[in-house]
Chains A and B, each alone.
Chain A
Amino acid sequence: MSPGGVTRAEVCVVACAEAWRGDGATLASPMGLIPSLGARLARCTFAPDLLLSDGEAFLLAPDPPSRGDDGAVEGWLPFRSVFTVVAAGRRHVMMGAAQLDRYGNQNISCIGDWARPKAQLLGVRGAPGNTVNHPVSYWVPRHSRRVFVEAVDMVCGVGYDRAAAAGAGFHELRVVVTNLAVLDFQAPDHTMRLRSLHPGVTLSEVVDATGFALAVPDEVPVTRPPMAAELDLIRGQLDPSGMRDRELA
């Protein structure tokens, strides 16, 4: 708990929400609890047109302020339609990452040699298609050198260097939100740059927890803290039982 009474998890929820600012009537696909809270917070504040699914086949109508509609089914989106939305580019996903390099190449498939992995993880899932078709952000609940590595073991999500080489014209990585900071790829050569530090986090903490040289601007802003109305929504509506803290534990 910081001096203002705002938790790190709440800062992360707002930082995730900010990823979807300006996306309009786009399918927001958050992977993980804090990104999900972020997407819902964005929709009930500054991004009201976002579409959200239940993870099965339904699009769910907005949370408050239109409380009467809470959870109402507003559309049908079976997996075959999700693939069409992906290819059409009308989606912004926030995925996890077991490994991530400076260009944003992401691995969720396996650790070690692909032919005989030390640890089989999720598989590539939709990451290759997502990253060459529509905006993608990442959520890393434990910022560490295990995640932020020089080279990932299996490129699932495509980073800027490989996207350029492949001529992937719809490639766009937005932000990487971690428990410590917000990062983006706005360094001159599209490598990872520190965008903001969460309140109470030092620059050296982030640099030490990153396994490659991060672009650091002269002035690093502090991540925007939640506003009172946002805290009310997070605590009162979106996550009253406080599950968000567990994702950072």
Chain B
Amino acid sequence: MTGKVMTADEVASELRDGMTIGIGGWGSRRKPMALVRAILRSGVADLTVVSYGGPDVGLLVATGRVRRVVTGFVTLDTIPLEPHFRLGRQNGTVELTELDEGMLHWGLLAAAHRLPFLPIRAGLGSDVPRVNPDLRTVRSPYPDGEELIAMPPLRLDAALIHLNRADARGNGQYLGPDPYFDDLFCRAAARSFLSCEQVVPTGELLASAPVQSLLINRSMVDGVVEAPGGAHFTSCVPDYPRDEAFQAEYAKSAGSQEAWERFAGEYLSGDEADYQKAVRRFRESRAASA
């Protein structure tokens, strides 16, 4: 088994209505946006999305692809509140499983380890159990007898992540400062799809970074997509920072139905190449008016 290279649209065509999808990254950082954009084009719907949420969640909510979001937050980082997620919640168009950030981590770890639950303090005393009535506690069988939240596994049908580099066999490398939880998303998922800025020969992976940068090995990955700019407009350092100007444009699109239709028409009506072209036009028009 060697070549796993496929297109973003081929990844999206592997997804089915009603699936539970985990999305890597964090907030507006290193999100697999090219894969998300492929989902928008695909017509798949009724998804449950598990994510440290950013514009991945916002776009999927805005386009009605998502039935339920499982998260502790949805943010654009420099814009604290994700506007499309906000609208979805306030208009009642999306369901929410609201968890503490650490509980989400623990749920992925439980799934990755094939455990029925992992004990955690986070959630005790808060309203998280109130809004998650299926959540149970467990008492320590040791003399301390402490009662803890029994965080169930967050099992995923598919995981989507974006890294800086990968080889064609699915060995993936992050070059930025934080791996986030991308490896855990893959381990928690039945199938995992990795997009990256550049597919390189295996022998080149360690040319510019130490072995610890190889976060993902090929046993964790079913498909590799070469998607330069594939995290845009989220950050993918050191390849590129967040595109703050474009993110602000995206956020404005939640202002009205007309603003959304204009944004969707300009940026989401074509394929990934059209998107990247439209982003270049956006940059040029800003540079011209500056």
Contact = CB atoms under 8 A, between A and B. Distances in A.
B181 A156 contact: no
A46 interface: no
Contacts of B125: 128, 131-132, 155, 158, 162-163, 165-166, 168, 171
Nearest to A163: B125
Interface stretch (B70-78, B199-207, B257-265): B70-78
A169 B146 CA distance: 9
Interface string A135-165: 0000000000000000000111110001101
B265 to A, nearest CB: 26
A71 B89 CA distance: 39
B39 to A, nearest CB: 22
Interface string B21-58: 00000100000000000000000000000001100000
B122 to A, nearest CB: 3
A120 B124 contact: no
B134 interface: no
A47 B122 CA distance: 28
A129 B178 contact: no
Interface residues of B, number: 40
A125 B73 contact: yes
B251 interface: no
B121 A132 contact: yes
B99 interface: yes
Interface string A105-123: 0000110001011111111
A129 B123 contact: yes
B102 interface: yes
Contacts of B26: 79
A167 interface: yes
A75 to B, nearest CB: 11
Interface string B117-140: 000111111111011000000000
A78 B7 CA distance: 30
B177 A126 contact: no
Given A56-B177, A87-B102, A114-B131, A126 B124 contact: no
A124 B92 contact: no
Interface stretch (B80-88, B223-231, B278-286): B80-88
A200 B86 CA distance: 39
A246 interface: no
A212 interface: no
B178 A124 contact: no
Nearest to A73: B177
B100 A129 contact: yes
Contacts of A169: 146
A87 B101 CA distance: 12
13 contacts: A86-B122, A87-B102, A109-B127, A118-B90, A119-B90, A122-B75, A124-B72, A126-B100, A126-B102, A132-B122, A133-B122, A167-B146, A168-B121
Interface of A: 56-58, 76, 78-80, 83, 86-87, 109-110, 114, 116-129, 131-133, 154-158, 162-163, 165-171
Interface of B: 26, 52-53, 71-75, 80-81, 85-86, 89-90, 92, 98-103, 105, 120-128, 130-131, 146-147, 177-181
